[in-house]
Amino acid sequence: MADNAASSATLDAVRIGIVSVSDRASTGVYVDKGLPALKDWLTRALRNPIAFEERLIPDEQDRISATLIELVDAGCALVLTTGGTGPALRDVTPEATLAVAHKEMPGFGEQMRQISLKFVPTAILSRQCAVIREQSLILNLPGQPKAIQETLEGLKNEAGESVVPGIFAAVPYCIDLIGGPYLETHDEVCKAFRPKSAIRAPKTP
């Protein structure tokens, strides 16, 4: 344990915003499962020390946009939202996200839908998107914990080998390119991809 603590201390610290968008969960009608699912997966996937900024808010476009701006201004290099990305009238997370964007990153949403289509044909109804604001990457994720893991991690065969890449494999290099911290992953959960020229030598205590 001491060795792990010493090793993690040499890695870049990262502040991550996690936002669950739900009218019912935000008013206590049911227990939110999105925030715990995001924290669990990110803690398992990243080797870096993480400081989480958590928000549970209703499906209100202006409130969502304001929350995203707040988290970016607070220094979150990565902001993940869950919920509110379908076609229902109250689903406005993509609109709120695009409203604060400086750049759109459509490949993330395309890949999330490709992963979900392996399971359900209604995946084409999802409208997840990704954007860059300042030096932060903002990603809209599905609302269900299982779907959150699948889209981040990708799909693996029985031997544990990747058969469909998850979107998180591209996140560390994207954050490199926008001037954020150098994220390192646990390969058994999600192996980050970088061009050879962008890979840093492992840090030592």
Q: Give me the average pLDDT of each 10-residue run along the chain (205 residues).
A: 49 97 91 96 98 97 98 98 97 98 98 94 97 98 95 88 91 98 95 95 61
Query: Would you say residue 204 lies in a domain?
Result: no
> Are the C-beta atoms of 20 and 56 separated by less than 8 Å?
yes
Query: Would you say residue 127 lies in a domain?
Result: yes
CATH number at residue 10: 3.40.980.10
Q: pTM surpassing 0.85?
A: yes
Structure token pair of residue 63: 């409130």
> Residue 9 has what pLDDT?
57
Contact residues for 21 (Cβ-Cβ < 8 A; gap 6+): 57, 58, 59, 64, 81, 82, 83, 84, 93
- DSSP 3-state assignment of 152? helix
Query: Would you say residue 205 lies in a domain?
Result: no
Q: Which amino acid does the sequence have at 181? A: P
> Residue 112 has what pLDDT?
97
Phi, psi of 180 (to 5 degrees): -90, -175
Domain that holds residue 41: 2-198
